Amino acid sequence: SGESVYDVAVIGAGVIGAAIARQLSSYKLQVVPLEKEADACFGVSKANSGIIHGGFHHGPDALKARLEILGNLMYDRLQKELGFPFRRCGILVAALNEEEMKAVGKLYENGVRNKIIGIELAGRERMLALEPHLNPDVVGGLYAPSGGVIEPYRFVFALIENAQDNGVELLTGFRVAEVRQAGGTFAIASADGRLVRARYAVNAAGLYADRVSALFGAEDFQIVPRKGEE
């Protein structure tokens, strides 16, 4: 057909899609992230709390915990390379009574089993020394010095801009509406009539990953969105 064929189309340019596009940009590949919003990071990544977790919510059996710990360790190098705002300020989990302290104890056990560096089960005095503005009723808590904070927008923009510097072309306003397979490539059509051909596709579509998966005839699953208020 004479149309150019990309090596990889990345569906979604949130934090996952942007990070994948950046990683792929270090190889001799033609990569195109397809983002349905007006810019990268405009999906769920924009509503992120910006917390770099300390690896104590789940035990080592959980894939989430293993990836959380690996990811946490990558931020120092990423920040050095990309220059986005990042600070290892540590995480405190405060307990206001003995019942809450039992729950904190379980989190501490997770952290120890996950081999988290510097994790600490703290008494009242230690907690108030770390954060004098805590409720004076605090009885103790957990301190994870490896936890931190980033600015989500700046992080995602830094990732995608670095990928673009390396020759990656970002297409925005591109909502994947139809996918056809032909001649070993995917023909990916947007809702507004654009067409991209790619040999491989990566599904990084966040809340819409289930719909994208269905369009590609891949895994069948359902995402149930919820607000992080529980």
Q: Of 53, 57, 58, 133, which is the active-site residue?
A: 53
* pLDDT tens profile 15-70: 999 999 999 999 999 999 999 999 999 999 998 899 999 999 999 999 999 999 99
Provide the strand spans (E) within 107-226.
120-123, 140-144, 148-150, 176-182, 185-190, 195-203
Decide the pairing of beta strands 86-87 and 51-52. Answer: unpaired
Phi, psi angles (nearest 5°) of residue 122:
-110, 145
Strand, helix or coil at 29? coil
- The pLDDT, as a whole number, for residue 89 is 96
- CA atoms of 40 and 160, how far apart (whole Å): 7
- The pLDDT, as a whole number, for residue 131 is 97
Q: Per-residue confidence at 2, pLDDT binned at 50, 70, 90?
A: very low
- The pLDDT, as a whole number, for residue 76 is 96
Residue with the two structure tokens 């035990």: 59
pLDDT at residue 1 is higher than 50: no
Q: What share of the chain is helix, strand, coil (3-state, %, to 5)?
A: 35, 25, 40
CA-CA-CA-CA torsion for 207, 211, 212, 214, nearest 10 degrees?
Answer: 150
Is 133 assigned a catalytic role?
no
* pLDDT tens profile 116-168: 999 999 999 999 999 999 999 999 999 999 999 999 999 999 999 999 999 99
- The pLDDT, as a whole number, for residue 226 is 80
